[in-house]
Amino acid sequence: MSRRLDPRTMADWQIAEAAEESMLPFAALGEHLGLTDGEMIPHGRWLGRVDHRKVLDRLGGAPRARYIDVTAITPTPFGEGKTTTTIGLIQGLGVLGKQATGAIRQPSGGPTFNIKGSAAGGGLSQCIPLAPFSLGLTGDIDKVTNAHNLGMVALTARMQHERNYDDAALASRGLRRLDIDPDRLEMSWVMDLCAQSLRNIEIGRGGSHDGYRMASGFQIAVASELMAILAVTTGLADLRRRIGEIVVAYDRTGVPVTTADLEVDGAMTAWMVDALDPTLLQTLEGQPVFVHAGPFANIAIGQSSIIADRLGTSLADYHVTESGFGADIGFEKFWNLKCRISGLQPDAVVIVATVRALKMHGGGPPVKPGTALDPAYATEDLGLLERGCENLVAHIETVRRSGVRPVVCLNAFTTDTPAEERVVRRIAAQHGAGVAVSHHWERGGEGAIDLAEAVIEACEEPQEFRYLYEAGRSLRDRIEVIATEIYGADGVTYTDAAAAAASVIEGDPALAGLDVCMVKTHLSLSHEPHRKGRPRGWTLPIRDILVYRGAGLAVPVSGNVKLMPGTASDPAYRRIDVDVETGRVQGLF
């Protein structure tokens, strides 16, 4: 394939389109993975879902594969190729004759049509078919959106009816008064696009039959609590229980109002049932890849699902899963949330780095979405690179705290020089990490052999996996540990609202055990995106703490992170189109 497809002269979508001519049909892909006909749920000829219950029941659910997580350094706004590396590693393992699977997250329409693109990988390390993958796939994000918004419909309708009817009229309709406090709503609406103009809106304008008039807003769909539930759930009964525990608001006495109180939890679960089964796609070189759950570890859990990982670890010899953004947020959540819930423990962790990002952290010119990279990033500068490796070292230390030896993957760009590669190799090795320079973008699996061999070697080493903190520690203690030991902060401050929320959580036995899922910018180890490298002498400000009781998460919100991203001035949708002769989508990246 690498002899006829050249990523230096072809766009990602052109490579994917050419590769799709020879990809395996879904039935053949499933057969290659060892699935039976009854375990495959086709969605057309090329992709489909896998019935996870049937597979795990047949296999007993016992993991047999080596389990590998892929994370990264603090990225530039363009990302550093984490999914590309995930796919490249799977392909490299395949070249070495290993049976390998992967689990990646379904791309959100927000970044697909904005700056980052579809998250299918790139060059000769992609997941295909590209257009379905990028444009809704088998509908998981749509199901999350509809189920979430159904909860909002139930909440706002109930508020309207309680305003318009007295207790007797409500009782005649089989309802009791919930007395919802309009100033203490825990949910907003969701959509799967970056729409900053919908962050803050007013709803219910008109007459008494046009809804309850109040402030509201939108967040991006993949930041919904339902997406977090999809990532961490273990099956249908667990999903049904979690959805019923979602807190949508509080009443005027401070008592939580749940989806079960609104009697909408069953209907929300009905929307989500099919989404429990991961979708199965393939790499350019024909290895199986599960796609399940969503992105954005900065504002969500940002992990491929536990269900997908249980399938992969049961079916393969090596299973590669993906965590969002840098090790400070993506791997930290994989380590202390996902592994704690699933019981799975990694045999190796890959930290993706690029010379480009390391130079940025060393003091290079600003990297801004929608603008061309400064020529400094294509020119050798060993001093700039070495200073930027402070950021890499911070992420190596984070992974090593888990007891797992990391493997640094330098995702090679064509502008990198041998001297720059030597700097990264030396510093990574000095700090206890394995190192590989990988050319998977340019050469596919053949270019990732060194990375695959380094990962296999790391998997054979004895590990002493341990969590960052004990589960029984108080909420604020756990936040402090994450802030100081992972981000490098000197401490944590709280707004009055955040301190009050922390007190409520710590004082309620039903909430005190919630796991900590931090919301923080992905563009810095600190809460301020412009602070690059390894910032020192700062404190982490917590402005709010959200309760995702159904997902089992307390969500501290730091800095100025928005749960609804904005669309940039030069978004990707300007270059996406359809060939009217063939119907093929063009311009995705």
Beta-bridge partner residues of 303: 323
Residue 4 CB contacts under 8 Å (≥ 6 apart), including other chains: 18
Task: State the burial class of residue 580 (Cβ atoms within 10 Å of its Cβ: 0-12, 13-18, 19+).
Answer: exposed
Q: Tokens for 521, please give them.
A: 């910018």
Q: b/e map of 410-425 (b: 16 or more CB within 10 Å)?
A: bbbbeebeeebbebbb
Beta-bridge partner residues of 219: 190
Phi/psi at 320 (nearest 5 deg)?
Answer: -110, 120
Within 13 Å and on the Cβ side, how many CA atoms surround 314? 20
SS3 432: coil
Beta-bridge partner residues of 406: 349
> First and final CA of the chain: distance in angstroms?
19
Closest CA relative to residue 93, chosen from 118, 65, 121: 65
Q: Which residue's entry shows tokens 């800095």?
A: 559
| Cβ count near 510 (within 10 Å) | 10
Angle at 517 between CA 255 and CA 118, to 5 degrees: 120
How far is Cα 349 from Cα 320, in angstroms, rounded to an integer?
9
For the beta sheet containing 491-494, the strands, ordered from the edge strand earlier in sequence to the opposite edge, are 491-494, 539-548, 553-558, 515-516
Integer CA distances (angstroms), 74 to 455, 512, 529, in order:
21, 31, 10
- DSSP conformational letter for 366: P
Closest CA relative to residue 450, chosen from 460, 470, 436: 436
| Cβ pair 91, 122 in contact under 8 A | no
Long-range contacts of 417-424 (CB under 8 A, 24+ apart): 417/380, 419/380, 419/382, 420/355, 420/380, 420/382, 420/385, 421/355, 423/382, 423/385, 423/386, 423/389, 424/353, 424/355, 424/358, 424/385, 424/389, 424/392
| Cβ count near 537 (within 10 Å) | 7
Angle at 193 between CA 190 and CA 194, to 5 degrees: 100
- DSSP conformational letter for 23: P
Pairing mode of beta strands 100-104, 288-291: parallel
Residue 260 CB contacts under 8 Å (≥ 6 apart), including other chains: 244, 245
Which strand (E) or helix (H) includes residue 454?
A: helix 449-460
Q: Which residues are catalytic?
A: 82, 84, 105, 116, 297, 325, 413, 441
- DSSP conformational letter for 486: I
